[in-house]
C-alpha cells in the first residue's frame, strides 16, 4: 500500500477481501438461471438473468479495482498472475452484463463460461497469496510426492557438534556454525517469514529467500545491520507487541517464539554471516 494514498482509497483497497465474494456468489447464480432451464427444455428468464448480470458486472468491476489498489505495492510472479486473472475476470463480468441485453444467447453463454473458469483460476491464485501453496502441498502428500523447497533457499544445516579434544580448526568451525545463517536465522525465516517474502509474493518489496534479497532489504530500507540487532528491522519488528501496526509477522500469521527471536538477534549480533 502506498504511503501517500488517501484514507478513502486505502479503505477501498482493504475492502477487496469483502468485495471479491460478491461475484463469487453472483456468477454461479447467473449460470444457474441461464443454463438451468435448458436442462428442463425451457427458456431462461431474461429479466432475472439481466438483473443478476448487472449486479455481477458492478461487483466484478469493484472487486477488480479494489484488488489493484490493494496489490499496488506488492510484487512477485504469483501476485502478477492474480492481478491478470482479476483484470480478465472483471472484464468478463462487464462483458456478460452487456451481452445479457442482446438477443443472441450464444455469446452470453460463452462469456459466462469464460468468466466461470477465470473465477476458479483467479481465486486459486488469491488463495495461494493468502495461505501459500497449502492445497498444492496437501495434494502432493496425498499422492506421495515430495513438497518443493523454497526457491533460492538452502536447506537448513544441522548445528555442528562442539569440539572436544580436536585441533583448534575444529573448534573454530564449531563456533562459526553456532552463529551462521543456516543454523540460526534460516529456520526462523522459513517457518514464519518466507510465505509472504518469496519470489512469488514480495510483500513490501522484501525477499527473504536469498542472501541478495536479505542484504538489499525492502521498501523501508535495510532489514539487517550487521552487528546491530537493535537497528535491524528483521529483529525489532518481531519484538514489537503483536497489536502494534509495525509488528511482523502479521498477528494472523505464524509468530516466532522467544527462542527464535533470540536466534535472529544472535545471528545479527555475530555479524549477520551467511
Domain locations along the chain: 7-139, 168-269
Q: What is the pLDDT of residue 147?
A: 57
Q: What is the CA radius of gyration of the chain?
A: 25
Residue pair 67/22 in contact (Cβ under 8 Å)? The answer is no
Residue 110 in contact with residue 88, Cβ under 8 Å? Answer: no
Q: Which long-range contacts (CB under 8 A, 24 or more apart) does 209-213 make?
A: 209/150, 209/151, 209/152, 209/153, 210/152, 210/153, 211/181, 211/274, 213/152
Cα–Cα distance measured from residue 238 to residue 247, given in angstroms and rounded to the nearest whole number: 6
Q: What is the rounded distance in angstroms from the CA atom of residue 206 to the CA atom of residue 210? A: 10
Q: What is the pLDDT of residue 167?
A: 43
Model pLDDT, residue 254:
87
C-alpha cell at 223: 532489514
Q: What is the pLDDT along the chain (274 residues), one digit of tens a residue?
A: 444 568 888 899 889 989 999 999 999 999 999 999 998 889 899 999 999 999 999 999 999 999 999 877 667 788 889 999 999 999 999 999 999 999 899 999 999 999 999 999 999 888 887 776 667 777 777 887 765 554 443 443 333 333 444 444 444 444 455 568 888 899 999 898 988 888 877 888 888 988 999 999 988 889 999 999 999 999 999 999 988 988 999 888 889 999 999 999 999 999 998 8
pTM: 0.61
pLDDT of res. 176: 52
Give the model's pLDDT for residue 250.
87
- List of residues 6+ apart from 23 with CB closer than 8 A: 56, 59, 60, 63, 89, 93, 119
Amino acid at each position: 500500500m502506498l504511503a501517500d494514498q488517501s484514507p478513502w482509497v486505502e479503505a477501498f483497497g482493504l475492502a477487496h477481501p469483502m468485495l471479491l465474494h460478491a461475484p463469487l456468489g453472483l456468477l454461479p447464480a447467473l449460470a444457474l438461471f441461464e443454463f438451468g432451464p435448458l436442462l428442463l427444455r425451457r427458456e431462461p428468464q431474461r429479466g432475472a438473468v439481466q438483473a443478476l448480470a448487472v449486479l455481477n458486472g458492478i461487483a466484478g468491476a469493484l472487486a477488480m479495482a479494489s484488488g489493484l489498489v490493494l496489490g499496488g505495492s506488492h510484487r512477485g510472479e504469483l501476485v502478477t498472475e492474480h492481478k491478470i486473472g482479476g483484470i480478465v475476470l472483471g472484464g468478463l463480468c462487464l462483458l456478460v452484463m452487456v451481452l445479457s441485453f442482446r438477443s443472441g444467447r450464444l455469446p452470453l453463454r460463452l462469456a459466462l463460461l469464460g468468466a466461470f473458469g477465470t473465477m476458479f483460476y483467479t481465486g486459486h491464485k488469491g488463495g495461494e497469496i493468502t495461505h501459500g501453496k497449502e492445497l498444492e502441498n496437501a495434494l502432493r502428500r496425498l499422492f506421495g510426492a515430495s513438497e518443493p523447497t523454497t526457491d533460492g533457499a538452502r536447506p537448513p544445516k544441522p548445528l555442528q557438534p562442539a569440539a572436544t579434544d580436536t585441533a583448534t580448526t575444529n573448534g573454530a568451525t564449531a563456533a562459526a556454525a553456532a552463529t551462521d545463517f543456516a543454523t540460526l536465522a534460516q529456520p526462523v525465516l522459513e517457518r514464519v517469514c518466507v510465505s509472504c517474502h518469496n519470489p512469488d509474493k514480495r510483500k513490501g518489496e522484501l525477499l527473504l529467500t536469498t542472501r541478495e534479497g536479505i542484504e538489499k532489504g525492502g521498501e523501508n530500507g535495510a532489514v539487517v545491520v550487521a552487528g546491530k540487532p537493535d537497528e535491524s528491522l528483521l529483529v525489532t519488528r518481531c519484538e514489537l507487541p503483536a497489536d502494534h501496526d509495525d509488528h511482523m509477522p502479521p498477528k494472523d500469521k505464524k509468530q516466532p517464539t522467544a527462542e527464535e527471536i533470540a536466534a535472529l538477534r544472535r545471528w545479527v549480533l555475530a555479524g549477520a554471516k551467511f
